[in-house]
Structure 1
Amino acid sequence: MPDRMIKLIISLLIVTSCSGAAERSDETTGQPEATEAIITGADQVESYVPYLMGKRVGMVINQTSIIGDQLSVDSLLALGVDIKAIFGPEHGFRQNASNGAAVGDEIDPQTGIPIVSLYGKNRKPSQTQMEALDVMVFDVQDVGCRFYTYINTLADIMEACAEYGKKLVILDRPNPNGFVDGPVLDMQFKSGIGKFPIPVAHGMTMGEFARMLNGEGWLANGIQCDINVIPIKNYTHDLYYELPVPPSPNLNTQASIILYPSLCLFEGTIISQGRGTYMPFTVLGAPALKGQYDFSFKPVSIPGMSEAPLHQGKMCYGIDLRDYDIKRLHASGRINLQWMLEFYKAFPEKERFFDSSQSPAMGRIEALIGNNVFKKQVMDGLSEEEIRKSWEPGLSDYKEMRKQYLLYK
């Protein structure tokens, strides 16, 4: 494609690609004011497309990987970028797999490009796959939580790029939960939902987290990945940002995304978070709470979202948070522990509360919260502030360490 045509197409993309702006502050929530629209790394095509031209490109992407309102793979193909392979994280490239479900390799019917699953038999590309590429592009929307697996995929890709001498271009996107909170992971509870010594809410974008992975030597054998982060324009961590595309099947609303750091902890309990409904991570309940709460919902099997949810086919009684003031929660910069304390107090069979064996989604509370003391703290009736005090000095130490890797205020 002639250089003149490339510049023309890039110009058109720039005009149409401004992302959703962060909302202005108000006296009620105290949200900071954004004076200009947020522009994601992907939207800044002029900053990275010239580098990709003439190279064999691999892309780690899913349905959140957009330029303007179009999938980035389509936009880049139109520009003449030679995309050789797509690598899909958990839920797959087209987001048609449930949480935790293995995803197989396939050919994308819309582009004919091979799709390699990074959430099936392999967690990172093979030597053969990497040798067929000159550069890798990473563009996946994260939600800022330790147990959200996209940061694990980022680490795996960085290791593969480092091992085979490939550069990684990271198209950065805002973290909708940009605060830092929760206990730092005790590494004896390291798992697939917690691989690094970071808090529950780590307060970093993917680009910043990649810098931390390199800087702290957290990649296998301390190897270093050659990264180029295309930073977000007009973004700060405390801005309230509405995602233009749901990041995964069970985070299908802005409310679910903002409530996720608080409600996902219930995956380690007998309390349903609404998997098996079309309102996941905005409701809480269990059959045993009948008579204590008026609100009810019934989880059912929903292909592509939750095939075998906790309490399937049973009426659950609890609370509806769909109209909760999520902007105020976001502005607080805190995980809400009051719901956990409330539901433990209300649950009639205390010995069953932390039984997560019926839930196929995540696992034990220890793996989710990152230590073996939180469960006892809740059972012993400690207050939220008493629990928070136990997160120190680890949380403050993490915040100090984090500063050197930040790209945004």
Structure 2
Amino acid sequence: MLAGVCVAGCVPEEEPPPVRSGAEVLVANDFESLSDQRVGLIANHTARLDTAHVIDRLAAAPSVELSAIFAPEHGFRGTAGAGEAVEDGRDPRTGVPIYSLYGETRRPTPEMMEGLDALVFDVQDVGARFYTYITTMGLAMQSAAEADARFVVLDRPNPLGGTYTSGFVLEPEHTSFVGRYPIPIAHGLTIGELARYIRAEGVLPGVGSVDLSVVPVENWARDQQWPDTGLDWRPPSPNLPTWETALMYPGMCFFEGVRVSEGRGTERPFLQIGTSWSPEDARRVVDTLRAQDLSGIAVDTVAFTPRSMPEAAPSPRFEGQEVYGFEVEVTDRRAVDPLAVGIHALHAMYQRAQARGDTTFVSRPEHLTRLAGTDRLLTLLRDRASPDSIIAAWRDEVEAFRDDRAPALLY
């Protein structure tokens, strides 16, 4: 029998059932879990069901009163740049007020919570600890607990899958808005599972008492990465335009702490890294990375010029200047280890800076420490530790986290 040809008697393989987000499940159940409640919705542009936004479905539901909308970093429409303050406003379709949670106010105030029976959270996460949507969620859980309101998470798949866990576990003294919880950089949890973990571990004051419920994703398995879900990719923030950028983001984001362009202001953020060195320096870095035989990627030299991109990178580093470095192509998404790639790449660039006598390479040491969640990364780099020994430094704590997270898992 020819491979792939079905002849008499053979049964064609059935298509797997489609993955359905928690929002789709909520709508399919006629909003039963929110019936007769006044609701505040924390959402952005990713909270969609096919062509409709969850806001429009909630506003049209006769049994639910949508009373407030809360916007995380990048805004309700997802167009504000990284770190850019988000303003209050009003939704033109529904007339419902929109409150910013990424400005002077970082969580719903008692005044905003007044009269609400439930806070509903529907935001697509990327599975990295320093992605700020999960910090917003935890702070909102605090507000819900203080207001004696329910907190309902409409779950969505973790784009990296549910089995990949890697990176230093955050140390309490390095807590910030880009790192709020004692979890690895890649935590392998859906946003609903993370909410369950936050409540169970009591990592924020008051969250242990919040009335939490999660509307689960249907037909998603832990070993599924985003391309396996059949869902369309909607960039959760302006600089993650493709799933491949999100895949590499947990490791390549370290470069925000050093004097390079991490690709902002180009079409390939977090897939290409460059700085004001020479093409020969770039070649030496690439030779070093190729010698490591890193799984699942191909590495090559690159030259690029960051440009102002109003909704993604209004003022990128090295704007208008040609920079030289390396680019990454994902060749096997299941084999690649994004954190390992990031550490090897950062190490290669750091060693090249040392060879050049470049004392300004680590331009933002405090930010690099915040991203790593520990000062050990910078210490190990300065002590000339190998990339493999840096990676080995987090293995035991990641294994302990995997045990701790087990009760929170839904899938």
- State the TM-score bracket (shorter-chain normalisation): 0.7 to 0.9
Shift of the alpha carbon at 1:223? 4.1
Q: Residue 151 of structure 2 corresponds to which residue in structure 1?
A: 168
User: Structure 2 CA distance, aligned partners of 1:248 and 1:52?
Assistant: 28
User: Structure 2 CA distance, aligned partners of 1:335 and 1:109?
Assistant: 45
Q: Residue 374 of structure 1 corresponds to which residue in structure 2?
A: 377
Residues 81-112 of structure 1: CA deviation (Å, up to 9, x unaligned): 32111100000001121101111100122332
Q: Residue 313 of structure 1 corresponds to which residue in structure 2?
A: 320
TM-score w.r.t. structure 2 length? Answer: 0.85
Q: Residue 53 of structure 1 corresponds to which residue in structure 2?
A: 35
Secondary structure (helix, strand or coil) at the match of 1:42 reads helix
Shift of the alpha carbon at 1:208? 0.6
- Give the % identical residues: 37
- Work out whether residues 247 and 338 of structure 2, in 8 Å CA contact, stay in contact via their aligned partners in 1: no
Shift of the alpha carbon at 1:381? 3.2
Residue 195 of structure 1 is aligned with which of 176, 180, 184?
Answer: 180
Residues 100-143 of structure 1: CA deviation (Å, up to 9, x unaligned): 11111001223322110000111111212211322221100001
Q: Which sits farther off after the overlay, 393-402 or 202-211?
A: 393-402
Give unmatched runs, 5+ long, in structure 2. Answer: 1-13, 283-300
Tell whether 2:174 aligns with 1:181.
no
One-letter amino acid of the structure 1 residue matched with residue 47 of structure 2: S
Q: Residue 292 of structure 2 corresponds to which residue in structure 1?
A: none
After superposition, residues 204-223 of structure 1 pair within 5 angstroms as: 204-221=189-206, 223=208
User: Structure 1 CA distance, aligned partners of 2:253 and 2:29?
Assistant: 36
User: Structure 2 CA distance, aligned partners of 1:407 and 1:354?
Assistant: 40
Residue 235 of structure 2 is aligned with which of 234, 246, 261?
Answer: 246
Tell whether 2:61 aligns with 1:76.
no
User: Structure 2 CA distance, aligned partners of 1:296 and 1:252?
Assistant: 20
- Work out whether residues 250 and 338 of structure 2, in 8 Å CA contact, stay in contact via their aligned partners in 1: no
Q: Residue 283 of structure 1 corresponds to which residue in structure 2?
A: 272
Q: Residue 386 of structure 2 corresponds to which residue in structure 1?
A: 383
TM-score w.r.t. structure 1 length? Answer: 0.85
RMSD between superposed Cα atoms in Å: 2.1
Shift of the alpha carbon at 1:211? 0.7
One-letter amino acid of the structure 1 residue matched with residue 319 of structure 2: Q
Secondary structure (helix, strand or coil) at the match of 2:345 reads helix
One-letter amino acid of the structure 2 residue matched with residue 170 of structure 1: V
Q: Residue 20 of structure 2 corresponds to which residue in structure 1?
A: 39
Q: Which sits farther off after the overlay, 97-106 or 45-54?
A: 45-54
Residue 308 of structure 2 is aligned with which of 288, 292, 301?
Answer: 301
Residues 354/150 of structure 1: CA separation in 2 closer, same or farther (3 Å cut): same
One-letter amino acid of the structure 1 residue matched with residue 87 of structure 2: G
One-letter amino acid of the structure 1 residue matched with residue 316 of structure 2: P
Residues 344-375 of structure 1: CA deviation (Å, up to 9, x unaligned): 23333442221138xxxxx6211111111212
Runs of 4+ aligned residues of structure 1 deviating over 6 Å after TM superposition are none
User: Structure 1 CA distance, aligned partners of 2:401 and 2:260?
Assistant: 30
- Work out whether residues 58 and 86 of structure 1, in 8 Å CA contact, stay in contact via their aligned partners in 2: yes
Secondary structure (helix, strand or coil) at the match of 1:351 reads coil
Q: Which sits farther off after the overlay, 231-240 or 374-383?
A: 374-383
Residue 397 of structure 1 is aligned with which of 397, 400, 404?
Answer: 400
- Work out whether residues 275 and 299 of structure 1, in 8 Å CA contact, stay in contact via their aligned partners in 2: yes
User: Structure 2 CA distance, aligned partners of 1:34 and 1:303?
Assistant: 42
Shift of the alpha carbon at 1:335? 3.8
Residues 214-243 of structure 1: CA deviation (Å, up to 9, x unaligned): 111112245421111011112123212145
Q: Which sits farther off after the overlay, 347-356 or 269-278?
A: 347-356
Residues 289/373 of structure 1: CA separation in 2 closer, same or farther (3 Å cut): farther
User: Structure 2 CA distance, aligned partners of 1:158 and 1:52?
Assistant: 17
Residues 193-228 of structure 1: CA deviation (Å, up to 9, x unaligned): 111111111111111111111111112245421111
One-letter amino acid of the structure 2 residue matched with residue 306 of structure 1: A
Secondary structure (helix, strand or coil) at the match of 2:363 reads coil
Q: Residue 296 of structure 2 corresponds to which residue in structure 1?
A: none
- Work out whether residues 90 and 99 of structure 1, in 8 Å CA contact, stay in contact via their aligned partners in 2: yes
One-letter amino acid of the structure 2 residue matched with residue 313 of structure 1: G
Give unmatched runs, 5+ long, in structure 1. Answer: 1-32, 358-362
After superposition, residues 85-164 of structure 1 pair within 5 angstroms as: 85-164=68-147
Shift of the alpha carbon at 1:376? 2.9
Shift of the alpha carbon at 1:157? 1.0
User: Structure 2 CA distance, aligned partners of 1:251 and 1:379?
Assistant: 30
**Number of residue equivalences:** 369
